Structure 1
């Protein structure tokens, strides 16, 4: 069993983490080992584990499963020093390890079920960090709780995929762990810098907004409204029910007020969504009354490099690979029917993006 006394090379060999993928985890190993104190981890205490899991919104039967596997994970998996290391690096330092794609790889299959449980127990411990950050800002607890409920949501998705208790979706949930993402009403809003290279400009004569792709920068005309590096709000849509138009409208309005009150130093240039739910093609297939179509039509198109959106299979059918025969794909909703028809016509779905300017949200009509 790996212990805190192991060197970084010995530990990573024992965990089968010698792939280049895990290089970001090698940082500060000696420092975290010197500070090793597992008693600071919520999962070391059954009562605290139960309370934390219930606060996040796990059902009683799920909490019981978490507790049933907890003892074996703590005592037999050998992963506790690694869990402590990441907990320490993400939350216990003045200069925490960035929570991003590079620092949240999946654990190797050689670790078996313990590896599938690792992020569940890590996040049960780590959520106290965004909880504390929100509390410092005065963010209402119900918003923090709704945001961190994503840990529950993804545990349920991954457990269904694996056929046993599991949480393997670490990449997405790391967005939550430094309090840069909040769920406000139906939607989630993430503070970030724009990392796409397109430019949005307003024509000084007509006032028209236009997007310029990476290879069109020499054609930019007018006042630049949005470019790479600018602060934006990135919008995400959790799989938690219908996309009611009025509910989403209120979510936008409340989010803008939220940032003004709790993050006044944050001045976003735009509210952006890089999702299949901004693809203007949906307007060709869906009725005007469709909530998806209404959501799409909120946005100005943001030019992105043409790349097929294979993730739609997961969002529409909860499977990563397409059906070999399109006729086998369920077509129970208007969105599924439109998706399949488009493919049957020999066309592809491409990744899409859209943006809304802050002043446009000010003009939204919210029916209280």
Structure 2
């Protein structure tokens, strides 16, 4: 069997669920959805030209149907782990955009979910435009169109993650199995928490972060009244305390770090840092040729050149 055959077989092995089927869309409607999802114009032609249909590409269409069924299978706080491998290179553009096609076609399901939850439309658009941001990043990484963050976008389309201003908040349960620890004075095993993520589009000023944190608890109390969130957690290289040795006290990163009480292990995450700051895919990049025009860039490169490693910090805070 070819690589494409193996990949399709893996997707078609996914369990079926009683979920309304995807509907084919016109080119005009697909373009409108791409704009809502924040997909840049440069990618529109490739996405639209390779959009599967039940008649022209029945196997790809069936794979999309099965992924959509898995995406919206019933689950109280939906699992965020889905095994959706990247399409093989032999599929070309159709494979690189396959999961863009999935989320484009699934958009009505997501909009229906948000309507049932009474989510304001500005929050919906801010949330789903993370898809476009990841398409932009893909082009920066590989100098071609595509998308490979399908596992991450599951959170957005299942209604666990929402962007409120500068920050993203993801409904979760703290488990020692996942976090490898529990906090001493904060959330314990089994506690509902909002996992905080930091998009890379613009400065994370204290004022912008304050506004996001102020919105979080009222938002989730209004739209998920059966769930109670008192704590936020964050796992990110931005919480590596080593950064405070290289950056001024007034930097946005250091001020963001001060919000959190640290707990748990701190694994190496050099590739995460290079990806976020330099848009480099894992395992690539010559340190000697990376730009060092900002204090952060100089700190990252010099620390790595000296044999050091950047680490993922983990912290918790009480939500205001």
TM over 0.5: yes
Gaps of 5+ in 1: 1-9, 203-224, 363-368
The alpha-carbon deviation at position 145 of structure 1 amounts to 0.8
2:3 aligned with 1:16:
no
- Look up the match of 1:193: 173
Q: 1:321 aligns with which of 283, 288, 295?
A: 283
Q: For residues 199 and 309 of structure 1, what CA distance do their matches in structure 2 show?
A: 24
Q: For residues 250 and 82 of structure 1, what CA distance do their matches in structure 2 show?
A: 41
Q: For residues 77 and 188 of structure 2, what CA distance do their matches in structure 1 show?
A: 27
2:244 aligned with 1:283:
yes
2:9 aligned with 1:28:
no
2:77 aligned with 1:90:
no
**Residue pairs, 1:271-310, within 5 angstroms:** 271-310=232-271
Computed over aligned residues only, the root mean square deviation of the Cα atoms, in angstroms, reads 2.9
Q: For residues 156 and 110 of structure 2, what CA distance do their matches in structure 1 show?
A: 7
Q: For residues 96 and 298 of structure 1, what CA distance do their matches in structure 2 show?
A: 30
CA, structure 1 residues 281+269, in 2 after alignment: closer, same or farther (shift >3 Å)? Answer: same
- Look up the match of 1:169: 149
2:83 aligned with 1:100:
no
**Residue pairs, 1:1-368, within 5 angstroms:** 15-17=5-7, 22=10, 26-28=13-15, 40-41=22-23, 43-70=24-51, 75-76=56-57, 78-91=59-72, 93-94=73-74, 100-194=80-174, 195-202=178-185, 225-319=186-280, 320-324=282-286, 326-358=287-319, 362=320
CA, structure 1 residues 104+71, in 2 after alignment: closer, same or farther (shift >3 Å)? Answer: closer
CA, structure 1 residues 45+158, in 2 after alignment: closer, same or farther (shift >3 Å)? Answer: same
CA, structure 1 residues 71+82, in 2 after alignment: closer, same or farther (shift >3 Å)? Answer: closer
Q: Residue 311 of structure 1: SS of its match in structure 2?
A: helix
Q: For residues 294 and 229 of structure 2, what CA distance do their matches in structure 1 show?
A: 35
TM-score by length of 2: 0.87
TM-score by length of 1: 0.77
| TM-superposition CA deviations, 1:157-182 (whole Å, max 9, x none) | 22343433312221211111111000
Are the aligned partners of 2:217 and 2:229 in contact in 1 as well (CA < 8 Å)?
A: no
Corresponding residue pairs, total: 316
CA, structure 1 residues 184+245, in 2 after alignment: closer, same or farther (shift >3 Å)? Answer: same
Q: For residues 181 and 284 of structure 2, what CA distance do their matches in structure 1 show?
A: 30
CA, structure 1 residues 309+228, in 2 after alignment: closer, same or farther (shift >3 Å)? Answer: farther
